Structure 1
Protein backbone atom coordinates (compact mmCIF):
# COMPACT_ATOMS: atom_id res chain seq x y z
CA UNK A 1 0.00 0.00 0.00
CA UNK A 2 2.99 2.29 0.48
CA UNK A 3 6.20 1.95 -1.50
CA UNK A 4 9.13 4.29 -0.92
CA UNK A 5 12.38 4.01 -2.87
CA UNK A 6 15.27 6.47 -2.77
CA UNK A 7 13.41 9.27 -0.98
CA UNK A 8 15.50 12.43 -0.75
CA UNK A 9 14.55 15.81 0.68
CA UNK A 10 16.77 18.78 1.54
CA UNK A 11 16.24 22.36 2.58
CA UNK A 12 19.28 24.21 1.35
CA UNK A 13 22.33 22.49 2.83
CA UNK A 14 20.20 20.60 5.37
CA UNK A 15 19.69 17.03 4.11
CA UNK A 16 16.50 15.95 5.88
CA UNK A 17 16.02 12.58 4.14
CA UNK A 18 18.97 10.97 2.40
CA UNK A 19 17.59 8.12 0.32
CA UNK A 20 15.28 6.02 2.47
CA UNK A 21 13.46 2.88 1.30
CA UNK A 22 10.56 1.00 2.89
CA UNK A 23 7.23 -0.64 2.09
CA UNK A 24 3.97 -0.98 4.01
CA UNK A 25 1.66 -3.91 3.26
CA UNK A 26 -2.13 -3.92 3.28
CA UNK A 27 -3.48 -4.16 6.83
CA UNK A 28 -0.08 -3.48 8.42
CA UNK A 29 1.03 -1.00 11.07
CA UNK A 30 4.50 0.20 10.10
CA UNK A 31 6.24 2.50 12.57
CA UNK A 32 8.86 5.12 11.81
CA UNK A 33 10.69 5.49 15.09
CA UNK A 34 13.03 8.37 15.80
CA UNK A 35 13.69 11.49 17.86
CA UNK A 36 12.54 14.99 16.98
CA UNK A 37 14.24 16.19 13.81
CA UNK A 38 14.86 12.68 12.44
CA UNK A 39 12.69 13.31 9.36
CA UNK A 40 9.50 11.49 10.39
CA UNK A 41 7.07 14.35 9.80
CA UNK A 42 8.77 15.29 6.53
CA UNK A 43 8.23 11.73 5.31
CA UNK A 44 4.52 11.90 6.15
CA UNK A 45 4.15 15.32 4.54
CA UNK A 46 5.72 14.07 1.31
CA UNK A 47 3.68 10.85 1.12
CA UNK A 48 0.45 12.74 1.86
CA UNK A 49 1.27 15.23 -0.98
CA UNK A 50 1.70 18.25 1.31
CA UNK A 51 5.27 18.88 0.13
CA UNK A 52 7.30 17.51 -2.79
CA UNK A 53 10.26 15.20 -2.61
CA UNK A 54 13.53 16.13 -4.27
CA UNK A 55 13.90 12.58 -5.59
CA UNK A 56 12.44 9.12 -5.17
CA UNK A 57 9.88 6.66 -6.50
CA UNK A 58 6.90 7.00 -4.14
CA UNK A 59 3.57 5.18 -4.40
CA UNK A 60 0.56 5.17 -2.11
CA UNK A 61 -2.39 2.82 -2.73
CA UNK A 62 -0.94 2.12 -6.16
CA UNK A 63 -0.73 5.78 -7.19
CA UNK A 64 2.39 7.79 -7.97
CA UNK A 65 2.65 10.53 -5.34
CA UNK A 66 4.17 13.10 -7.71
CA UNK A 67 2.08 12.36 -10.82
CA UNK A 68 -1.26 11.42 -9.23
CA UNK A 69 -1.62 13.56 -6.10
CA UNK A 70 -5.42 13.78 -6.32
CA UNK A 71 -5.74 9.98 -6.44
CA UNK A 72 -3.40 9.68 -3.45
CA UNK A 73 -5.42 12.21 -1.46
CA UNK A 74 -8.63 10.33 -2.20
CA UNK A 75 -7.13 7.14 -0.77
CA UNK A 76 -5.62 8.45 2.47
CA UNK A 77 -6.44 9.91 5.85
CA UNK A 78 -3.97 12.01 7.85
CA UNK A 79 -3.73 12.85 11.53
CA UNK A 80 -0.92 15.22 12.46
CA UNK A 81 0.86 15.90 15.71
CA UNK A 82 -1.79 18.43 16.69
CA UNK A 83 -5.53 17.82 16.38
CA UNK A 84 -6.90 19.53 13.26
CA UNK A 85 -10.32 20.26 14.72
CA UNK A 86 -12.28 23.52 14.89
CA UNK A 87 -12.76 24.38 18.55
CA UNK A 88 -15.70 26.70 17.88
CA UNK A 89 -17.72 23.94 16.19
CA UNK A 90 -19.33 20.99 17.91
CA UNK A 91 -18.12 17.44 17.38
CA UNK A 92 -21.01 16.78 15.01
CA UNK A 93 -20.37 19.99 13.06
CA UNK A 94 -16.68 19.10 12.62
CA UNK A 95 -17.63 15.74 11.13
CA UNK A 96 -20.32 17.25 8.90
CA UNK A 97 -17.79 19.79 7.63
CA UNK A 98 -15.43 16.96 6.71
CA UNK A 99 -18.29 15.12 5.00
CA UNK A 100 -19.03 18.25 2.95
CA UNK A 101 -15.37 18.46 1.92
CA UNK A 102 -15.65 14.87 0.68
CA UNK A 103 -18.79 15.85 -1.30
CA UNK A 104 -21.02 13.40 0.55
CA UNK A 105 -24.80 13.84 0.43
CA UNK A 106 -26.10 15.65 3.50
CA UNK A 107 -28.10 12.62 4.65
CA UNK A 108 -25.04 10.39 4.19
CA UNK A 109 -22.87 12.84 6.12
CA UNK A 110 -25.29 12.96 9.04
CA UNK A 111 -25.50 9.18 9.21
CA UNK A 112 -21.72 8.82 9.07
CA UNK A 113 -21.25 11.49 11.76
CA UNK A 114 -23.59 9.61 14.11
CA UNK A 115 -21.78 6.32 13.45
CA UNK A 116 -18.33 7.80 14.03
CA UNK A 117 -19.35 9.65 17.19
CA UNK A 118 -20.66 6.35 18.58
CA UNK A 119 -17.59 4.41 17.44
CA UNK A 120 -15.22 6.86 19.12
CA UNK A 121 -17.31 7.21 22.30
CA UNK A 122 -18.13 10.88 21.70
CA UNK A 123 -21.94 10.74 21.60
CA UNK A 124 -22.39 12.54 24.92
CA UNK A 125 -20.18 15.41 23.72
CA UNK A 126 -21.50 15.54 20.15
CA UNK A 127 -23.37 18.83 20.63
CA UNK A 128 -20.67 20.55 22.70
CA UNK A 129 -18.05 22.95 21.29
CA UNK A 130 -14.78 21.11 20.74
CA UNK A 131 -12.84 23.72 22.75
CA UNK A 132 -14.50 22.15 25.82
CA UNK A 133 -13.10 18.69 24.98
CA UNK A 134 -10.15 17.10 26.76
CA UNK A 135 -6.97 16.36 24.82
CA UNK A 136 -7.93 12.70 24.46
CA UNK A 137 -11.40 13.59 23.17
CA UNK A 138 -9.96 15.98 20.60
CA UNK A 139 -7.57 13.29 19.40
CA UNK A 140 -10.43 10.77 19.07
CA UNK A 141 -12.45 13.29 17.08
CA UNK A 142 -9.43 14.01 14.89
CA UNK A 143 -9.10 10.28 14.13
CA UNK A 144 -12.82 10.06 13.41
CA UNK A 145 -12.57 12.95 10.96
CA UNK A 146 -9.78 11.28 9.01
CA UNK A 147 -12.06 8.24 8.50
CA UNK A 148 -14.86 10.18 6.82
CA UNK A 149 -13.48 9.44 3.36
CA UNK A 150 -13.09 5.70 4.13
CA UNK A 151 -9.31 5.79 3.51
CA UNK A 152 -7.31 2.72 2.56
CA UNK A 153 -4.12 4.20 4.07
CA UNK A 154 -3.82 6.32 7.22
CA UNK A 155 -0.83 8.41 8.22
CA UNK A 156 -0.59 8.97 11.98
CA UNK A 157 2.13 11.48 12.83
CA UNK A 158 2.91 11.10 16.55
CA UNK A 159 -0.81 10.63 17.34
CA UNK A 160 -0.43 10.26 21.11
CA UNK A 161 1.95 13.15 21.81
CA UNK A 162 0.81 14.98 24.95
CA UNK A 163 -1.88 12.47 25.89
CA UNK A 164 -2.24 10.97 29.36
CA UNK A 165 -1.72 7.18 29.71
CA UNK A 166 -5.44 6.35 29.66
CA UNK A 167 -6.05 8.38 26.49
CA UNK A 168 -2.97 6.85 24.88
CA UNK A 169 -4.32 3.34 25.51
CA UNK A 170 -7.66 4.36 23.98
CA UNK A 171 -5.97 5.65 20.83
CA UNK A 172 -3.91 2.44 20.58
CA UNK A 173 -7.12 0.40 20.72
CA UNK A 174 -8.65 2.50 17.93
CA UNK A 175 -5.57 2.04 15.75
CA UNK A 176 -5.67 -1.74 16.21
CA UNK A 177 -9.36 -1.73 15.27
CA UNK A 178 -8.63 0.18 12.06
CA UNK A 179 -5.96 -2.31 11.01
CA UNK A 180 -8.23 -5.25 11.82
CA UNK A 181 -10.57 -3.82 9.18
CA UNK A 182 -7.84 -3.91 6.53
CA UNK A 183 -6.56 -0.33 6.74
CA UNK A 184 -2.82 0.21 6.36
CA UNK A 185 -1.19 2.56 8.88
CA UNK A 186 2.08 4.45 8.76
CA UNK A 187 2.75 5.53 12.33
CA UNK A 188 5.48 7.93 13.35
CA UNK A 189 6.45 8.01 17.00
CA UNK A 190 9.24 8.82 19.40
CA UNK A 191 7.71 6.54 22.02
CA UNK A 192 9.54 3.21 21.99
CA UNK A 193 6.73 1.44 23.85
CA UNK A 194 4.21 2.65 21.28
CA UNK A 195 6.18 1.18 18.39
CA UNK A 196 6.70 -2.06 20.31
CA UNK A 197 3.04 -2.47 21.26
CA UNK A 198 1.46 -1.50 17.93
CA UNK A 199 3.73 -2.07 14.95
CA UNK A 200 4.25 -5.27 13.03
CA UNK A 201 7.47 -3.76 11.68
CA UNK A 202 9.60 -0.84 12.83
CA UNK A 203 12.09 1.33 10.95
CA UNK A 204 14.56 3.37 13.00
CA UNK A 205 15.08 6.78 11.40
CA UNK A 206 18.15 8.73 12.49
CA UNK A 207 19.67 11.84 10.89
CA UNK A 208 17.60 11.37 7.77
CA UNK A 209 18.49 7.72 7.15
CA UNK A 210 17.03 4.35 8.09
CA UNK A 211 19.53 2.55 10.30
CA UNK A 212 17.44 -0.61 10.79
CA UNK A 213 14.12 -2.16 9.72
CA UNK A 214 12.39 -5.27 11.03
CA UNK A 215 9.88 -6.63 13.50
CA UNK A 216 10.36 -5.51 17.10
CA UNK A 217 11.60 -9.02 17.91
CA UNK A 218 14.12 -8.97 15.05
CA UNK A 219 15.50 -5.60 16.12
CA UNK A 220 15.80 -6.72 19.74
CA UNK A 221 17.68 -9.83 18.62
CA UNK A 222 20.38 -7.61 17.11
CA UNK A 223 21.27 -6.37 20.60
CA UNK A 224 20.58 -9.40 22.80
CA UNK A 225 17.92 -11.80 24.00
CA UNK A 226 16.92 -9.62 26.93
CA UNK A 227 17.04 -6.33 25.03
CA UNK A 228 14.16 -3.88 24.94
CA UNK A 229 13.35 -1.61 22.03
CA UNK A 230 14.96 1.17 24.10
CA UNK A 231 18.24 -0.78 24.05
CA UNK A 232 17.95 -1.30 20.29
CA UNK A 233 17.33 2.37 19.60
CA UNK A 234 20.23 3.53 21.74
CA UNK A 235 22.60 0.96 20.25
CA UNK A 236 21.67 1.74 16.65
CA UNK A 237 21.74 5.50 16.91
CA UNK A 238 24.98 5.59 18.87
CA UNK A 239 26.67 3.53 16.14
CA UNK A 240 25.81 6.11 13.47
CA UNK A 241 28.74 8.51 12.97
CA UNK A 242 28.16 12.22 13.44
Structure 2
Protein backbone atom coordinates (compact mmCIF):
# COMPACT_ATOMS: atom_id res chain seq x y z
CA UNK A 1 0.00 0.00 0.00
CA UNK A 2 1.31 3.44 -0.92
CA UNK A 3 1.53 5.75 2.09
CA UNK A 4 2.21 9.44 1.36
CA UNK A 5 4.36 11.24 3.89
CA UNK A 6 4.40 15.02 4.27
CA UNK A 7 7.60 16.41 5.78
CA UNK A 8 7.61 19.98 7.08
CA UNK A 9 10.25 21.70 9.18
CA UNK A 10 11.77 25.08 9.92
CA UNK A 11 15.16 23.40 10.23
CA UNK A 12 15.87 24.68 13.74
CA UNK A 13 17.46 22.24 16.23
CA UNK A 14 16.12 21.40 19.68
CA UNK A 15 19.26 22.79 21.32
CA UNK A 16 21.42 25.90 21.12
CA UNK A 17 24.13 25.17 18.54
CA UNK A 18 27.62 26.58 18.57
CA UNK A 19 27.85 28.45 15.29
CA UNK A 20 29.86 31.41 13.93
CA UNK A 21 26.69 33.06 12.64
CA UNK A 22 23.07 33.27 13.76
CA UNK A 23 21.19 30.39 12.18
CA UNK A 24 18.01 31.09 10.27
CA UNK A 25 14.73 29.31 9.80
CA UNK A 26 14.27 27.27 6.66
CA UNK A 27 11.14 26.30 4.81
CA UNK A 28 11.32 22.56 4.26
CA UNK A 29 8.07 21.22 2.85
CA UNK A 30 7.79 18.13 0.69
CA UNK A 31 5.69 15.04 0.11
CA UNK A 32 7.09 11.60 -0.65
CA UNK A 33 5.96 7.99 -0.70
CA UNK A 34 6.97 6.39 2.59
CA UNK A 35 9.28 3.38 2.26
CA UNK A 36 8.82 2.79 -1.48
CA UNK A 37 9.34 -0.76 -2.69
CA UNK A 38 12.77 -1.35 -4.20
CA UNK A 39 14.62 -4.42 -5.40
CA UNK A 40 18.27 -5.38 -5.07
CA UNK A 41 18.18 -6.63 -8.64
CA UNK A 42 17.04 -3.24 -9.95
CA UNK A 43 19.52 -0.72 -8.54
CA UNK A 44 18.84 2.95 -9.06
CA UNK A 45 22.58 3.62 -8.99
CA UNK A 46 24.74 1.16 -10.92
CA UNK A 47 28.23 2.54 -11.62
CA UNK A 48 30.58 0.22 -13.46
CA UNK A 49 33.73 2.36 -13.26
CA UNK A 50 35.48 4.38 -10.59
CA UNK A 51 34.74 7.62 -12.40
CA UNK A 52 31.05 6.77 -12.55
CA UNK A 53 31.06 6.01 -8.82
CA UNK A 54 32.76 9.32 -8.07
CA UNK A 55 30.23 11.20 -10.19
CA UNK A 56 27.51 9.83 -7.92
CA UNK A 57 28.85 9.69 -4.36
CA UNK A 58 31.45 12.47 -4.70
CA UNK A 59 28.96 14.95 -6.10
CA UNK A 60 27.14 17.49 -3.95
CA UNK A 61 24.37 17.71 -6.57
CA UNK A 62 23.73 13.97 -6.87
CA UNK A 63 20.64 14.09 -4.65
CA UNK A 64 18.97 17.00 -6.42
CA UNK A 65 16.66 14.57 -8.18
CA UNK A 66 14.70 11.78 -6.50
CA UNK A 67 13.80 8.39 -8.05
CA UNK A 68 10.37 8.46 -9.67
CA UNK A 69 9.19 5.55 -7.50
CA UNK A 70 9.29 7.92 -4.51
CA UNK A 71 6.61 10.27 -5.93
CA UNK A 72 8.55 13.20 -4.49
CA UNK A 73 6.96 16.67 -4.66
CA UNK A 74 8.52 19.81 -3.18
CA UNK A 75 6.24 22.52 -1.77
CA UNK A 76 9.04 24.63 -0.36
CA UNK A 77 8.55 28.29 -1.24
CA UNK A 78 12.02 29.54 -0.42
CA UNK A 79 15.54 28.26 -0.69
CA UNK A 80 16.66 25.18 -2.50
CA UNK A 81 16.28 21.55 -1.50
CA UNK A 82 18.70 20.43 -4.19
CA UNK A 83 21.40 19.36 -1.73
CA UNK A 84 18.91 18.01 0.81
CA UNK A 85 19.41 14.31 1.56
CA UNK A 86 16.86 14.02 4.35
CA UNK A 87 15.49 15.36 7.61
CA UNK A 88 16.62 14.37 11.08
CA UNK A 89 14.06 13.47 13.75
CA UNK A 90 14.71 16.87 15.36
CA UNK A 91 13.76 18.67 12.14
CA UNK A 92 17.30 19.64 11.20
CA UNK A 93 18.22 19.13 7.58
CA UNK A 94 20.63 16.40 6.53
CA UNK A 95 22.48 17.65 3.48
CA UNK A 96 24.41 15.71 0.87
CA UNK A 97 27.58 14.42 2.45
CA UNK A 98 29.97 16.31 0.17
CA UNK A 99 31.48 19.73 0.68
CA UNK A 100 31.19 22.38 -2.02
CA UNK A 101 34.49 21.00 -3.33
CA UNK A 102 32.90 17.57 -3.85
CA UNK A 103 35.02 15.89 -1.19
CA UNK A 104 34.39 14.42 2.24
CA UNK A 105 33.95 17.46 4.52
CA UNK A 106 35.67 15.74 7.45
CA UNK A 107 38.24 13.47 5.81
CA UNK A 108 38.93 15.25 2.52
CA UNK A 109 41.40 14.24 -0.13
CA UNK A 110 43.76 16.73 -1.72
CA UNK A 111 44.68 19.95 0.03
CA UNK A 112 41.22 20.78 1.32
CA UNK A 113 40.74 21.58 5.00
CA UNK A 114 38.22 19.71 7.13
CA UNK A 115 35.01 21.61 7.74
CA UNK A 116 34.25 22.87 11.24
CA UNK A 117 31.18 21.74 13.18
CA UNK A 118 29.98 21.98 16.75
CA UNK A 119 29.82 19.18 19.30
CA UNK A 120 26.44 18.14 17.88
CA UNK A 121 28.18 17.73 14.51
CA UNK A 122 26.22 20.44 12.74
CA UNK A 123 27.03 23.79 11.18
CA UNK A 124 25.30 26.52 9.16
CA UNK A 125 25.16 26.69 5.40
CA UNK A 126 27.16 29.63 4.06
CA UNK A 127 24.37 30.73 1.72
CA UNK A 128 21.28 30.38 3.93
CA UNK A 129 22.72 30.06 7.46
CA UNK A 130 20.56 26.98 7.79
CA UNK A 131 21.93 24.58 10.40
CA UNK A 132 22.46 21.06 9.07
CA UNK A 133 24.20 17.71 9.47
CA UNK A 134 26.44 15.71 7.13
CA UNK A 135 27.12 12.96 9.65
CA UNK A 136 24.93 11.27 12.26
CA UNK A 137 24.45 13.20 15.49
CA UNK A 138 23.25 11.87 18.82
CA UNK A 139 21.88 15.27 19.82
CA UNK A 140 18.46 14.82 18.13
CA UNK A 141 17.82 11.81 20.38
CA UNK A 142 19.19 13.43 23.52
CA UNK A 143 19.26 17.22 23.06
CA UNK A 144 21.87 18.93 25.23
CA UNK A 145 21.00 21.89 27.42
CA UNK A 146 22.96 25.06 27.84
CA UNK A 147 25.96 26.00 25.77
CA UNK A 148 27.66 23.34 23.69
CA UNK A 149 31.23 23.49 22.51
CA UNK A 150 32.76 23.06 19.12
CA UNK A 151 33.94 19.71 17.83
CA UNK A 152 37.47 21.07 17.89
CA UNK A 153 37.21 21.92 21.60
CA UNK A 154 35.75 18.49 22.42
CA UNK A 155 38.74 16.12 22.67
CA UNK A 156 36.98 12.94 21.51
CA UNK A 157 35.35 14.73 18.60
CA UNK A 158 38.54 16.49 17.59
CA UNK A 159 40.44 13.19 17.67
CA UNK A 160 37.98 11.41 15.37
CA UNK A 161 34.66 12.89 14.36
CA UNK A 162 33.62 9.57 12.81
CA UNK A 163 34.22 7.58 16.00
CA UNK A 164 32.69 10.35 18.10
CA UNK A 165 29.54 10.25 15.96
CA UNK A 166 29.03 6.53 16.55
CA UNK A 167 29.87 6.77 20.27
CA UNK A 168 26.85 8.99 20.87
CA UNK A 169 24.55 6.11 19.95
CA UNK A 170 25.81 3.75 22.67
CA UNK A 171 22.49 4.02 24.59
CA UNK A 172 20.58 3.10 21.41
CA UNK A 173 21.99 -0.29 20.41
CA UNK A 174 19.03 -1.40 18.34
CA UNK A 175 17.20 -0.21 15.24
CA UNK A 176 16.70 3.48 16.04
CA UNK A 177 15.08 5.92 13.65
CA UNK A 178 17.13 9.09 13.28
CA UNK A 179 15.52 10.57 10.19
CA UNK A 180 13.78 10.20 6.86
CA UNK A 181 15.53 10.49 3.51
CA UNK A 182 14.18 12.67 0.72
CA UNK A 183 13.34 9.51 -1.21
CA UNK A 184 11.04 8.24 1.57
CA UNK A 185 13.34 5.61 3.05
CA UNK A 186 14.01 5.52 6.77
CA UNK A 187 17.39 6.56 8.17
CA UNK A 188 18.52 4.45 11.12
CA UNK A 189 21.32 4.90 13.60
CA UNK A 190 24.46 2.75 13.47
CA UNK A 191 23.01 -0.41 15.03
CA UNK A 192 20.85 -3.16 13.58
CA UNK A 193 18.07 -5.10 15.32
CA UNK A 194 20.60 -7.48 16.93
CA UNK A 195 22.52 -4.62 18.52
CA UNK A 196 25.48 -5.00 16.17
CA UNK A 197 27.10 -1.95 14.62
CA UNK A 198 26.57 -1.75 10.88
CA UNK A 199 30.01 -2.04 9.30
CA UNK A 200 29.06 -4.03 6.19
CA UNK A 201 26.03 -5.04 4.16
CA UNK A 202 25.51 -1.61 2.61
CA UNK A 203 25.65 -0.43 -0.99
CA UNK A 204 27.30 2.67 -2.47
CA UNK A 205 24.48 4.86 -1.11
CA UNK A 206 24.92 3.54 2.47
CA UNK A 207 21.60 1.73 2.07
CA UNK A 208 20.92 -1.80 3.22
CA UNK A 209 18.23 -4.43 2.83
CA UNK A 210 17.81 -5.14 6.51
CA UNK A 211 14.95 -7.59 7.01
CA UNK A 212 13.36 -10.70 5.54
CA UNK A 213 10.53 -8.81 3.82
CA UNK A 214 12.87 -6.68 1.76
CA UNK A 215 12.77 -3.32 3.52
CA UNK A 216 15.56 -0.96 2.52
CA UNK A 217 16.93 1.87 4.64
CA UNK A 218 20.00 3.99 5.17
CA UNK A 219 22.23 3.44 8.19
CA UNK A 220 24.63 5.73 10.01
CA UNK A 221 28.20 4.49 9.68
CA UNK A 222 31.65 5.61 10.77
CA UNK A 223 32.84 5.58 7.15
CA UNK A 224 31.95 7.78 4.18
CA UNK A 225 29.19 8.67 3.26
CA UNK A 226 28.14 8.46 6.97
CA UNK A 227 24.36 8.66 6.37
CA UNK A 228 23.58 8.52 2.67
CA UNK A 229 25.54 9.49 -0.42
CA UNK A 230 22.86 8.87 -3.04
CA UNK A 231 19.32 7.59 -3.33
CA UNK A 232 19.34 3.82 -3.64
CA UNK A 233 19.40 1.05 -3.92
CA UNK A 234 22.87 1.13 -5.36
CA UNK A 235 25.16 -1.62 -6.50
CA UNK A 236 28.16 -3.23 -4.81
CA UNK A 237 31.26 -2.55 -6.92
CA UNK A 238 34.77 -3.64 -5.97
CA UNK A 239 36.13 -0.09 -6.31
CA UNK A 240 35.73 2.73 -3.77
CA UNK A 241 35.30 6.52 -3.97
CA UNK A 242 38.34 8.75 -4.31
CA UNK A 243 36.96 11.85 -2.54
CA UNK A 244 37.56 10.61 1.01
CA UNK A 245 40.37 9.27 3.15
CA UNK A 246 37.79 7.45 5.28
CA UNK A 247 36.51 4.88 2.80
CA UNK A 248 34.40 1.86 3.71
CA UNK A 249 36.29 -1.43 3.64
CA UNK A 250 34.03 -2.72 0.87
CA UNK A 251 30.50 -2.67 -0.49
CA UNK A 252 28.85 -5.96 0.44
CA UNK A 253 25.33 -7.35 0.34
CA UNK A 254 23.48 -8.08 3.56
CA UNK A 255 22.09 -11.56 4.14
CA UNK A 256 18.69 -10.21 3.08
CA UNK A 257 20.01 -8.90 -0.23
CA UNK A 258 21.20 -12.31 -1.41
CA UNK A 259 24.57 -13.27 -2.77
> TM-score interval w.r.t. the shorter chain?
0.3 to 0.5
- Larger strand percent: 1
Structure in which a larger fraction of residues adopt helix: 1
